[in-house]
Structure 1
Amino acid sequence: MPVLVITGTGTEIGKTVTTAAVAAAALAAGRSVAVLKAAQTGVRPGERGDAEEVARLAGAVTTAELARYPEPLAPGTAAHRAGLAPVRPYRVAEAAQKLAAEHDLVLVEGAGGLLVRFDRAGGTLADAARLLGAPVLVVAPAGLGTLNTTELTARELRSREIELLGVVIGSWPADPGLADRCNVLDLPEVANAPLLGALPAAVGALAPAVFRSTAPTWLAPRLHGSWDAEAFRAREAPPAFG
């Protein structure tokens, strides 16, 4: 798995912090890591973007960013409004392949969901993943509404014959409600893919040293971690009804 594409089921669900956790766990396992942000929106020149945030939390990763647009919009819309060149899926694939030649693992982080448009022609992160032949990790929220968006994302990946590696819950609440707890069981079912981790809420606010040392405990062995899905389900899922 030299390249892993990381997408969310939407925005503000913990995708960047999850990317940082995957990077930190891989670094702890002795792998060299690069992080490629396909398109950064809502950040002006000189401000810290998602790739830099991953490096701050995870440590010694190589970072790359293909394009930056000032307005917090879909990349294609933001590029058009700014009068700047859009990102094309083939450029994402080429940049990831170049980084993969020099690193053990390249993490390609998208913007928002899988089908958010990069350009006016409709290019998306899914197109880049298909060009790369790379698996996709889906970051999903824990609560109400996540099952629909997760299943739609999983179905779209399979319709394009793109491997869905698994699902990570991007922010697990300290006091989970019934919907959160039920979704521990339902998320892997609707995605037809394993649950590969759950990040506690607000871990992005941890000191970097603490984040790096703890990150492997939030992720399954497939992502170089020690998180046990069965133990998590036994602890967090509700008891059987009836």
Structure 2
Amino acid sequence: MSHPAFDITGRNALVTGSSRGIGRALATGLLEAGCTVVLNGRDAAALERTRAELAVEHGDRVRTVAFDVTDPAAVAEGVARVEADTGPLSILVNNTGAQHRAPLLEFTHQDWHRLLETNLTSAFLVGQEVARHMAARGHGKIVNICSLQSEVVRPGIAPYAATKGGLKMLTKGMCADLGPLGIQVNGIGPGYFDTELTSALVADDEFSAWVRGRTPAGRWGQVQDLVGALVFLASPASDFVNGQVLYVDGGMSSVL
């Protein structure tokens, strides 16, 4: 039997960007922990496919809400719909993210703004809107999915690292403002994970060898490796943890 401090049975959670990859894995982890989970993304058809697959095991505790997390009006309407249809949100996971690799001197303004809106503005908008409801109830957990690149960077991803570094500081700033209202805001910083979005890197023997050699754990992360950190940050076990980023990177950020 697990410790009661980690019990999140019966809570409602919204996970953005959850039709696939890390977002889907995090949503699945919350379902396995007993939550009702609302999947979010812009592609309603993709969300429905994921819902149907997860519902085989988790039934009607899997819901969907399709809206653009970079559109303030859509966010306000979507969050209000979730609160009305599913019930009060206790947990928000801001997972929506995008990557674009290019040398800094070739990076277009369009791609810069797309990453900024997707990776950073979305967390501000959804976090702000969900926090309004949480504040009225005096409790809530917000988990922002940051990155190893919130701390360090490689060539070709400067704008991505800038958005993830900004998300780390947004997490701390949200803690400062929302902590007094009973809301804990923390982050998870994944290292190099094997997902659909990184499949080309995983398949690159040279790069994959670099990741394994650079990581004390000696391997790529698997999406299930993130679930324990999320359950901790979403549960009463973390009630006095606020404004922190928990790096789940196999130790990469700790070594030279």
Larger % of helix: which? 2
Q: How does the TM-score come out when normalised to structure 2? A: 0.47
Larger % of strand: which? 1
Q: How does the TM-score come out when normalised to structure 1? A: 0.49
Q: Which has the higher contact order (CA 8 A, sep 6+)?
A: 1
